[in-house]
Amino acid sequence: MAIPVFFTGSRAVLPYRFNNPAVVKIMRGLNFSHESSIGLEATLRKLFNERTTDFQIHDEDSLHFREIESDIPIDTLLVFPGAPSISKWKFSDVLQHRIQKYYDNGLLKVVGVCAGAFFCSRHVVYRERKGTESLINIFKGTCKGPAYRGNEPAYGRANIRVEPLTLLDRKVTCHVTMNGGGYFEIDPESEPVVDVKAVYEHSKEPAIIACRPHPDRPHGAVFMGPHFEYGAQSEAFHSYETLFPEVKGDLAQMRKKLALSEDLRMEALTGYIEELGFS
């Protein structure tokens, strides 16, 4: 069966990939990266049908799970963006326990990017310092960072770089944005419920993983060390060009690399979300 294609101007646009009813909850606020949160929302809006998807923006105080707790639960995706530090996140113990419970029961799907991946990991190590164990143990191994160590920041004050990943499902190289993100150390306890989706080309360490609540369950979460949501035209790069004019030329070169991988990143992300059960 042929897939319908719509045209806007000179560009072909595929219809939304996810059309069934869904709720997408994206964290945003003073303690989260605005650019990451905005980028994730913009990216997911390209994939989820806005007529059937309820996009919600939450901070730690407003986050709720009424859709899951209703008589007819709706497929729900909780999205944790990047952040300068997860130490300032103010999720109550009760709320963290609910996130863990709903994930374990298969009622809540989770995506975590950069700091969001650290937050959802049982163990955290950053710059050789072990962090406090989270009450959320979706990834039961260790998230370590930064993935690029010993030779960063890459461009002076602008701690951002564009680096290659190997997408294992496709066996191809994809360029992504790094901003202090980590890699995943998979131990024997976590191995049965973790699938590695991508590795950093420089180290071969896991960069993107998918987790299952139990070995016999479908994927329930995807965690990414890099900022998969940052494309060549993302707000993050506009902000960096304003904040760090001395590296504007370097940022332009990074954007060119990202532009070449734009479609590949979207295709890969679509596949990861499909594996979470959205359709």
- The pLDDT of residue 216 is above 60: yes
Contact 23, 67 (CB under 8 A): yes
- The pLDDT of residue 136 is above 90: no
* CA distance between the termini of the chain: 17
Cα–Cα dist 246/154, whole Å: 13
Q: pLDDT tens digit string along 83-125?
A: 988 888 889 999 999 999 999 999 999 999 999 999 999 999 9
- Topology at the third CATH level for domain 20-146+181-230+268-275: Rossmann fold (3.40.50)
The most confident of the ranges 9-23, 113-127, 131-145 is: 113-127
Beta-ladder partners of 22: 53
- The pLDDT of residue 255 is above 60: yes
The most confident of the ranges 155-164, 178-187, 204-213 is: 204-213
- The pLDDT of residue 14 is above 90: no
* Arithmetic mean of pLDDT, 146-161: 62
Q: pLDDT tens digit string along 185-210?
A: 998 888 999 999 999 999 999 999 99
pLDDT confidence of 245, banded at 50, 70, 90?
Answer: confident
Q: Sheet holding 172-178: strands in order across? A: 53-58, 22-27, 76-80, 108-113, 221-224, 206-211, 194-200, 161-167, 172-178
Predicted local confidence at residue 127, as pLDDT: 77
In this predicted model, which residue has the larger pLDDT, 62 or 250? 62
Q: What CA–CA distances, in Å, run from 167 to 52, 173, 185, 209, 253?
A: 30, 6, 18, 11, 22
Give, to the nearest 10 degrees, the angle between helix 235-243 and helix 248-260.
170
Predicted local confidence at residue 71, as pLDDT: 87
Q: What percent of the chain has pLDDT over 70?
A: 89
- The pLDDT of residue 155 is above 60: no
Cα–Cα dist 187/111, whole Å: 21
Cα–Cα dist 134/127, whole Å: 18
The answer to whether the bond into 4 is cis (omega within 30° of 0) is no
Predicted local confidence at residue 132, as pLDDT: 61
Cα–Cα dist 146/175, whole Å: 17
- The pLDDT of residue 9 is above 50: no
Predicted local confidence at residue 153, as pLDDT: 45
pLDDT confidence of 11, banded at 50, 70, 90?
Answer: very low
**Average pLDDT of the chain, as a whole number:** 88
Q: Which of 76-90, 138-152, 250-264 has the lowest mean pLDDT?
A: 138-152
